[in-house]
Amino acid sequence: MTRLTPLLLLAMLALGACSDSVDPTLGTEQAFSLYGYLDPSADRQALRVAPIVGTIVADTARTLAATVTSEELGTGRTVAWRDSFVTYRDGSTGHVFVADYTPTPGATVEVRVAETTGEERVTAVRISVPTLDRPEIGSFLGTSAEVTYPIRVRAPRVLTTSLVYRVVGLRSAPMDTVAVSFSDFAPFEDAGGGTWGLDLPFVATSRAFLSSPAAEGAMLRLVDVAVRAFVTGPEWDIPAGGLDEDRIVEPGTFSNVTGGFGFVGSGYWTESRWTPSLTTQSRAGFLVDTDPASVLRINEVSAQGWVELYNPTLEFVPIGGYQISSEGQANAFPSGTAVPPLGFQVLQGAPSLAD
């Protein structure tokens, strides 16, 4: 399944607009082409600005005769962006305007690029910034052959999805914990009501991961897994007919800019991380330890004599009879004690581990 990442999509649009094989429109009222997206999870924003001129050539002027400002409609919050002249990896050059600014989640932002010479034309775009949310993992659904995790996220749109497996045992780094991305599975789908859903068949997906080149053919231990989603605003709407590379680079096909060309959206990466139970890991094909409590983590140790454990899995982990010991002192959890899914358990009266 082929998917375009946000940056790849914007790169395609930019290359289509800047190719020297495109015939320019002479005498146009359009002033600039704009490409980029606002990220409400970042403290710095970037926007590529390219002048529309009679002959399409790489940018050579160190300073672009333009000002870029953004305003959050409703609040009046205004930010002035600054120009930077950059050289891209392919050797071409261009102007990227940056701002030390975090867009307010849920706001509508208008970005205006104004000429400072000549006709003083203005190119503008309005962007709806999505609210911040994290994927929520519901109670797992288990059968004799599969474990399915229902995952939901509140979003206007989810553009792309990936799983990140943190594993130990890769041939290239056998002793290290390495994060490996995997995207060969069905992505989030619109569930209606501003919610996007993914029912992840973990066993089948993990077996596909373990048989893929990313796993290097090694027997791997799983540390944890994260589902990552690129959440976008409503402007990032896929054109009817899909993302045809030859079609979307045509001016105006995939554009929300007035007084110019290009596309400016909004979006951010969000993720949730969890650890499947050892039984589920084993069924999926990962190497596992025999002790089910080995997945637990010590979250906090008090000088007053208690220890807090955290369970990163989505299933109860029984620990009745297990002991916490230090310097010859030991204290055991009462019979029947269990650490709840994604929860904590405290052992009172544990040996003090203070210095």
Residue 131 burial (10 A CB sphere; 0-12, 13-18, 19+): middle
Looking at residue 354, what is its pLDDT?
44
State how far Cα 67 lies from the chain centre. 30
Looking at residue 1, what is its pLDDT?
44
78 vs 288, more confident: 78
Looking at residue 351, what is its pLDDT?
57
Looking at every residue in the chain, the average pLDDT score rounds to: 85
Element (H, E) at 180: strand 173-182
Could you tell me the pLDDT band of residue 222, with boundaries at 50, 70 and 90? Answer: very high
Beta bridge partners of 72: 77, 109
d(CA 330, CA 50): 68
Could you tell me the pLDDT band of residue 319, with boundaries at 50, 70 and 90? Answer: confident
Task: Quickly list DSSP for 75-138.
Answer: TTEEEEEEEEEEE-TTS-EEEEEEE---PPTT-EEEEEEEESSTT--EEEEEEEPPPP---EE-
Task: Render pLDDT for 158-216 as a digit per residue (tens, 0 to 9).
Answer: 999 999 999 999 999 999 999 999 999 999 999 999 999 999 999 999 999 999 999 99
Q: What is the mean predicted confidence (pLDDT) over 313-334?
A: 79
Looking at residue 6, what is its pLDDT?
65
Task: Quickly list DSSP for 15-51.
Answer: HHHH-TTSPP-TT-S--EEEEEEE-TT-S-EEEEEEE
d(CA 64, CA 50): 9
Looking at residue 327, what is its pLDDT?
66
d(CA 316, CA 319): 10
Looking at residue 315, what is its pLDDT?
78
Report whether pLDDT(353) > 70: no
319 vs 43, more confident: 43
Beta bridge partners of 177: 168
Nearest alpha-carbon partner for 303 in 243, 237, 352, 230:
352
Task: Render pLDDT for 97-137 as a digit per residue (tens, 0 to 9).
Answer: 999 999 999 999 999 999 999 889 999 999 999 999 999 99
